[in-house]
Amino acid sequence: MKKFGGKVLYLDRSDINTDEIIPAKYLTEISKEALKPHMLEDLKLEGFDPGSEKVREARVIVTRSNFGCGSSREHAPWVFEVNDINVVIASGFARIFRQNMFNCGMLAIEIPEEDIEKLFGFDDGTAEISVDFRNDSLTVMSGAGEQTFSYRISGFDKALVEAGGWVEFADARY
Amino acid sequence: MALTLAEKIFKSHLRDEPFPGTKVLDIDVVMCHEITTPIAVNDLVARGKDRVFDPAKIKVVIDHVTPAKDTKTAQQGKILRDWARRQNIEDFFDIGRNGICHVLFPEKGFIRPGYTVIMGDSHTCTHGAFGAFAAGVGTTDLEVGILKGVCAFREPKTIRINIDGEVPEGVYAKDIILKVISELTVKGATDCVIEFHGDVVKGMSMEGRMTLCNMAIEAGGTSGVCMPDEVTVDYLWPFISSEYGDKKTALEEFRKWWSDDGCEYMKVLDIDVSGMEPQITYGYKPDEVKNVSEMEGTPVDQIYIGSCTNGRIEDLRVAAQYLKGKKIAPFIRGIVSPATPKIFREADEEGIIKIFMDAGFCVTNPTCGACLGMSNGVLAAGEVCASTTNRNFNGRMGKGGMVHLMSPAMAAVTAVEGRIADPRKFKKESL
Ligand code: SF4
């Protein structure tokens, strides 16, 4: 299983699409590693610098609703994966992106808008999140304190993460 | 129990339910293109599983960047081509015979009512126009589809859209779907199938229905769906005549897929198109839609007519009706990409290509090209494109570029004016 948790990158916007996460011009790459420098390159967000240290050190993304909408490109989860970001927490995901994350053995955690709001309250530049995968909970820590939230993912999605992804799961079963 | 069309397809294709709420379906058609498939192929090879579940059910096309523009895209094409050859996939379409996947595959008769269809492409929802469950997926889902012929889904809920009224002059399927998306919002149909009903849909050609279903994903929808009827039978007839003998029998078979009276809809939306204005997007999301009258006069740099939304023969005909005898405004450039070789040939035979060329348009070979900003018409920063495509995302057609989505009619009159224009104010010529 992958490692889940670490420094948080807050993306304070809804409807971030996969073209913003990884622009189409890099889809000619046939290795995941080659995508690495281009993560979130076209993100439209006031003050966001894709080359910043904050982005480089991030291990978890916290964002708003409908994250990952648009193109089906699995290059979006991959560019996170090669940048060691294995968890995205949002109040909602686009279907294909969400499934792509679990299919790669990564976590797309959906929690209510109020809880997302609370998570944003911990953003003082030092926030870290640890995920307790077994117990379906996550804990945020920063200068603003510490709080634990429970979340729910489907039995299937949990099994995919445990199996290491959908190819492994399907190959063993079908 | 009364079922929706999607529920019927899920029931008939159910292979496994590994966990409550997760349904693993048998897939009838797995479609592949050169952007999302090569990594799946390479991964299968690396795993020592370089096989396909059924070569007859796999359809392959090189369409996004074709002819190849550089070494990397040539390599993607090569991986796909070599794989199709090695796996004995007969339905493989390369340069000269290739076209945009969601236009080419229906044209080849690969889709039937009641089918399950997946592809590593979000606009796979287009094929639901035939009464199929057609969903875009990522590369891993595609890989499992290729290897095992299955795909996992949550059972989708269904949203029903009733489209009725008198379609005004200058308003087309594209305007209607933009209106629908603006009402549903970009996430309003997440994990849902969108069913299109009503007299307007009944009166639409398969081309128009595909334009509607194509943009279901822009509201987050898993698949767009139309009920298969006489229009569907007529379109498919060359491919199914030996199977059914007469059209009535085919229609009766297809009708079995219709959503039952009394089935459960998550939401029903009524849209009256009477008096509707032509629609256009203004922002960076496809639900940011306005009436054309609010946008008229906005300067543009490039016109793009093509894509899996509006690169079909009907679209080119409409644009040509507005362009006949006219010229593109000075310093404005126009690009038209007929979506398949068949469409290109028809447009040529009908004199449409000549009309575009006389107006000053560049006519490209069938390809996705400029739609996703990879080739054939990429925008410079600060440029504005009037486009018949489906996405106006930031950077979609080139970093720093702006895209306004619209119908082919509006794109044509905008080309002539050099500014966003209202097709209702222009005369259509007969072709
Ligand atoms: S035309 Fe555009 S939206 Fe359609 S498949 Fe090609 S790139 Fe995707």
What residues pair up with A9 in beta bridges, in sequence order? A61
Q: Where are the alpha helices (DSSP H) in B19-96?
A: 37-46, 71-86
Residue-level pLDDT at B258: 98
CB A92 within 8 A of CB A66: yes
- Is residue A161 within 8 A of residue A106, CB to CB? The reply is yes
C-alpha B388/C-alpha B264 separation (Å) is: 34
pLDDT tens profile A61-118 = 999 999 999 999 999 999 999 999 999 999 999 999 999 999 999 999 999 999 999 9
Among residues A88, A47, A34, which one has the least CA distance to residue A64? A88
B105 CA distance to ligand 1 middle (Å): 13
List, in order, residues 6 or more apart from B44 with CB less than 8 Å away: B50, B51, B143, B146, B147
Strands B150-154 and B22-26, how do they pair? antiparallel
Contact B393/A171, CB-based, under 8 Å? no
Q: pLDDT category, A1, cuts 50, 70, 90?
A: confident
* Cα gap B10→B95, rounded to integer Å: 36
pTM score of the predicted model = 0.97
Residues with CB under 6 A from ligand 1: B 64, 100-102, 121, 123, 307-308, 368, 371-372, 389-390
The secondary structure element, H or E, covering residue B171 is none
**Nearest by CB: A23 against B18, B120, B395:** B395
CA B209 from centre of chain? 10
The three-class DSSP label of residue B14 is strand
What is the Cα B158 distance to its own chain's centre? 20
Q: Which residues pair with A69 in a beta bridge?
A: A17
Enter the tokens of residue B101: 């996947």
Instruction: Tell me the average pLDDT across A2-11.
Output: 95
Q: Which atom of ligand 1 is nearest to the CA of B122?
A: 8
Q: Tell the burial category of B40 from Cβ atoms under 10 Å away from its Cβ (0-12, 13-18, 19+).
A: buried
- Beta carbons of B359 and B328 less than 8 angstroms apart: yes
Collect all residues with Cβ–Cβ distance below 8 Å to B367 and sequence separation of at least 6. B63, B64, B65, B66, B98, B100, B337, B375, B376
For ligand 1, the distance from its centroid to the CA atom of residue B50, given in whole angstroms, is 28
Judging contacts by C-beta atoms under 8 Å, the chain A residues touching residue B19 are 154-156, 159
With b for 16 or more beta-carbon neighbours within 10 A and e for fewer, the B43-74 pattern comes to bbeeeeeeebbeeebbbbbbbbbbebeeebbe
- Terminal alpha carbon distance of chain B: 50
d(CA A56, CA B423): 49
Q: Which regions in chain B score pLDDT beneath 70?
A: none
The rounded distance, in Å, linking the Cα atoms of B264 and B250 is 26
Taking an 8 Å Cβ-Cβ cutoff, which residues of chain A contact chain B?
15, 17, 19-20, 23-25, 27-30, 32, 42, 44, 65-66, 69-74, 77, 92-96, 99-100, 103-104, 154-156, 159, 165-167, 170-171, 173-174
Q: How far apart are CA B225 and CA A29, in angstroms?
A: 34
Residues 6+ apart with CB under 8 A from B231: B202, B204, B205, B206, B209
N-term to C-term CA, chain A: 22
Please indicate whether, in this complex, the C-beta atoms of B222 and A95 are within 8 angstroms of each other.
yes
CB atoms closer than 10 angstroms to residue B339: 28
Q: How far is the CA of A103 from the centre of ligand 1 (A)?
A: 24
B64, B66, B218, best to mutate for ligand 1 pocket (most atoms within 8 Å of CB): B64
* Sign of the torsion angle spanned by Cα atoms B60, B73, B381, B311: negative
For residue B26, the model assigns a pLDDT of 98
The string of pLDDT tens digits covering residues B44-96 is 999 999 999 999 999 999 999 999 999 999 999 999 999 999 999 999 999 99
**Tokens 């995968």 identify what position?**
A133
A-chain CB neighbours of B391 within 8 Å are: 19, 70-71
Please determine, for residue A30, whether its predicted confidence score (pLDDT) is greater than 90. Answer: no
> Predicted confidence band at A53 (pLDDT cuts at 50, 70, 90)?
very high
Cross-chain CB nearest to A20 (options B120, B222, B394): B394
Q: How many CB atoms lie within 10 A of CB B6?
A: 26
Per the listing, tokens 């039937």 go with B112
Q: Strand B14-19 vs strand B133-136: parallel, antiparallel, or unpaired? A: unpaired
Nearest to A69 by CA among B101, B423, B391: B391
pLDDT in tens, A148-161: 999 999 999 999 99
Residue of B83, B182, B376, B396 to mutate, testing the A interface (most A Cβ within 10 Å of its Cβ): B396
ipTM higher than the 0.85 cut: yes
pLDDT of A2? 86
Beta-sheet pairing, B116-119 with A137-142 = unpaired
pLDDT at A13: 97
Q: What is the mean pLDDT of residues A26-40?
A: 94
At residue B196, the 3 state secondary structure works out as strand
Residue A60's contacts (CB-CB under 8 Å, 6 or more residues apart) are: A4, A5, A6, A7, A8, A9, A85, A87, A88, A89, A128, A129, A131
Considering Cα of B415, then B421, then B426, then B428, what sign does the dihedral take?
positive
Nearest to B254 by CA among B280, B277, B225: B225
Count CA atoms within 13 Å of residue B364 on its CB side.
Answer: 28
Q: Is B219 helix (H, G, I), strand (E, B) or coil?
A: helix
Ligand 1 pocket, mutate which of B59, B305, B371 (most atoms under 8 A from CB): B371
- Of all residues in chain A, what percent carry a pLDDT higher than 70? 100
